[in-house]
């Protein structure tokens, strides 16, 4: 289990066209190169954006993966709020919520 | 010649990416102040523009994270993000490797900054350039201050970085502009996106406008996190500009919280 490698994979997907091609062609082969546990693999594959948020994935990385997977901005915000309701508080990282309501 | 222009601006991706969802009056007033700063920047006839930014995992990751890094390339590209998502088309932006190399060499005498000869600009640089130099006709030298992956550089160190940068610039014959970009309080890309602590922002700006080094460097990261969110760590970019303009008067052109942009939108100039 490694938040570091979850974030590293998503960082590469966000910035590297070659990684994105591999995501499109054979995502499992790409995922196999990272030290990820079953919960992490599930959250990335689904994708479960709320669970990734609760795991502690930095929002500056996660928002682009959400967009890659077709989430509009409001859907991304909702997915994180749903994640808090379903999975509990953010477990690690800088992106813990304060009140979860925002202003939008 | 050295530093001929300085200022700070916000860089939130919503400023361009979610423009149509903002209050039109507030959005247009923000844009007009961006353009005003851009006109004045152009009038200062800079040979190069140093953008002190806080990037968001576009080029640097926790496998090798510099506290400070300066670009040393003859061109850059951006935005790294999806063009539609950000609302800015991808372009090539001129750099100035020779000038950057000289600045880095000079600064290394007192500051261990890293350098990069390859750099893809994210919204932290592209949103300011989109408004300030829309023709992308001024060579840019990017600087990144790590504000995303703790441990982070101390605030006093950010101020001193600015001072070292100023000394390096002033030893050069070129006319150099400096723009710092970051948020003040904000909770971007979280369920709290849109939350803004206006009182905290205005207190910070008061210290920033006065270039009050003691006040600017007095925050602990714990306080900043509680009052200004994880986005508040980006005050390091503003503080670096203060270090580069010590003793100079600053003027606030615009500050308004715009929740859909997820930040208190700021445009300010330092009279160097």
Task: Select the residue of A15, A59, A67 nearest B120 (Cβ to Cβ).
Answer: A15
Return the closest-CA partner of residue B73 out of B111, B32, B38, B104: B104
Task: Select the residue of A7, A67, A101 nearest B85 (Cβ to Cβ).
Answer: A67
pLDDT value of position A91: 87
Q: Closest-CA residue in chain B for A71?
A: B85
pLDDT value of position A47: 98
Query: What's the mean per-residue pLDDT of chain B?
Result: 97
Confidence check: pLDDT of B265 > 70 = yes
Contacts of B61 in chain A (CB under 8 A): 7-8, 11
Q: Residue A98: pLDDT band by 50, 70, 90 thresholds?
A: low
pLDDT value of position A104: 39
pLDDT value of position A99: 59
Q: What's CA B139's distance to the chain center, in Å?
A: 16
Q: Best residue in A60, A79, A94, A98 to probe B by mutation, most B CBs within 10 Å?
A: A60
pLDDT value of position A100: 52
Is the CB of residue B95 less than 8 Å from the CB of residue B131? no
Confidence check: pLDDT of A1 > 70 = no
Question: What residues of chain B have any CB closer than 8 angstroms to a CB in chain A?
Answer: 18, 56-59, 61-63, 80-82, 85, 120, 148-150, 187-196, 225, 229-230, 259-260, 262
Long-range contacts of B30-36 (CB under 8 A, 24+ apart): B30/B254, B30/B256, B30/B258, B30/B265, B30/B267, B31/B131, B33/B253, B33/B254, B33/B267, B34/B9, B34/B128, B34/B131, B34/B132, B34/B267, B35/B131, B36/B253, B36/B267
Is the CB of residue B124 less than 8 Å from the CB of residue B141? no
Q: Best residue in A34, A59, A79, A84 to probe B by mutation, most B CBs within 10 Å?
A: A59
Return left, alpha or beta for A88; rule: phi > 0 is left, psi -120 to 50 is alpha, else beta. left
pLDDT value of position A97: 60
Is the CB of residue A10 less than 8 Å from the CB of residue A61? yes
Confidence check: pLDDT of A103 > 50 = no
Q: Residue A94: pLDDT band by 50, 70, 90 thresholds?
A: confident
pLDDT value of position A88: 87
Contacts of B229 in chain A (CB under 8 A): 98
The per-residue pLDDT for range B130-160, each reduced to its tens digit, is 999 999 999 999 999 999 999 999 999 999 9
Q: What's CA A32's distance to the chain center, in Å?
A: 17
Helices (H) and strands (E) in chain B, counts: 10, 10
Return the closest-CA partner of residue B229 out of B188, B191, B175: B188
Span A78-100, average pLDDT = 81
Share of chain B above pLDDT 70, in %: 100
> What distances in angstroms separate CA A15 from CA B60, B118, B131, B204, one per listed residue?
11, 13, 24, 33
Please tell me if residue A67 touches chain B, with a CB cutoff of 8 Å: yes
Q: Closest-CA residue in chain A for B78?
A: A15
Please tell me if residue A73 touches chain B, with a CB cutoff of 8 Å: yes
Q: How many CB pairs under 8 A join A and B?
A: 86
Return the closest-CA partner of residue B265 out of B25, B30, B19: B30
Is the CB of residue B219 less than 8 Å from the CB of residue B182? no
User: What does DSSP assign to residue A5?
Assistant: H
Span B242-257, average pLDDT = 98
The per-residue pLDDT for range B12-62, each reduced to its tens digit, is 999 999 999 999 999 999 999 999 999 999 999 999 999 999 999 999 999
- pTM (predicted TM-score): 0.96
The per-residue pLDDT for range A15-45, each reduced to its tens digit, is 999 999 999 999 999 999 999 999 999 999 9
Span B202-231, average pLDDT = 95
pLDDT value of position B72: 98
Q: Closest-CA residue in chain B for A60?
A: B56
Contacts of B57 in chain A (CB under 8 A): 7, 11, 14-15, 58, 60-61
Confidence check: pLDDT of B115 > 80 = yes
Helix (H/G/I), strand (E/B), else coil: B92: strand
Task: Select the residue of A11, A58, A100 nearest B192 (Cβ to Cβ).
Answer: A100
Q: Residue A96: pLDDT band by 50, 70, 90 thresholds?
A: low
Contacts of B196 in chain A (CB under 8 A): 103
Task: Select the residue of B59, B63, B195 nearest A102 (Cβ to Cβ).
Answer: B195
| CB-CB under 8 Å, B194 with A95 | no
Share of chain B above pLDDT 90, in %: 96
**C-alpha–C-alpha distance, residues B211 and B242, integer Å:** 6
Q: Residue A89: pLDDT band by 50, 70, 90 thresholds?
A: confident
């Amino acid at each position: 289990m490694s938040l570091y490698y979850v974030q590293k994979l998503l960082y590469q997907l966000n910035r590297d066209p070659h990684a994105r091609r591999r995501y499109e062609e054979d995502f499992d082969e790409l995922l196999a190169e990272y030290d990820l546990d079953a919960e992490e693999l599930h959250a990335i594959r689904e994708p479960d954006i709320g669970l990734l948020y609760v795991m502690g994935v930095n929002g500056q990385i996660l928002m682009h993966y959400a967009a890659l997977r077709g989430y509009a901005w409001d859907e991304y915000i909702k997915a994180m709020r749903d994640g808090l309701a379903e999975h509990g508080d953010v477990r690690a990282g800088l992106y813990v919520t304060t009140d979860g309501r925002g202003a939008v | 010649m050295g530093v001929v222009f300085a200022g700070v601006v916000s860089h939130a991706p919503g400023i361009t990416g979610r423009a149509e969802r903002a209050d039109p009056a507030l959005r247009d007033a923000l844009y007009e102040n961006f353009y005003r700063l851009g006109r004045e920047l152009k009038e200062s006839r800079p040979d190069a523009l140093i953008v002190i930014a806080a990037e968001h995992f576009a080029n640097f990751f926790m496998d090798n994270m510099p506290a400070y890094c300066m670009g040393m390339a003859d061109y850059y590209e951006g935005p790294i993000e999806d063009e539609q998502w950000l609302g800015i088309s991808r372009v090539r932006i001129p750099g100035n490797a020779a000038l950057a190399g000289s600045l880095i060499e000079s600064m290394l005498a007192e500051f261990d900054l890293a350098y990069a000869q390859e750099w893809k600009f994210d919204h932290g640089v592209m949103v300011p350039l989109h408004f300030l130099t829309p023709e992308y006709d001024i060579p840019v030298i990017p600087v990144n201050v790590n504000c995303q992956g703790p441990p982070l550089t101390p605030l006093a160190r950010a101020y001193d970085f600015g001072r070292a940068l100023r000394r390096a610039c002033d030893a050069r014959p070129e006319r150099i502009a400096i723009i710092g970009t970051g948020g003040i309080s904000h909770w971007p890309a979280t369920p709290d996106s849109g939350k803004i602590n206006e009182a905290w922002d205005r207190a910070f700006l008061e210290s920033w406008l006065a270039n009050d080094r003691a006040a600017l460097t007095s925050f602990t990261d714990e306080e900043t996190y509680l009052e200004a969110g994880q986005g508040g760590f980006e005050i390091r970019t503003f503080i670096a500009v203060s270090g580069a303009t010590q003793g100079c008067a600053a003027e606030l052109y615009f500050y308004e919280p715009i929740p859909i942009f997820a930040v208190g939108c700021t445009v300010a100039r330092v009279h160097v």
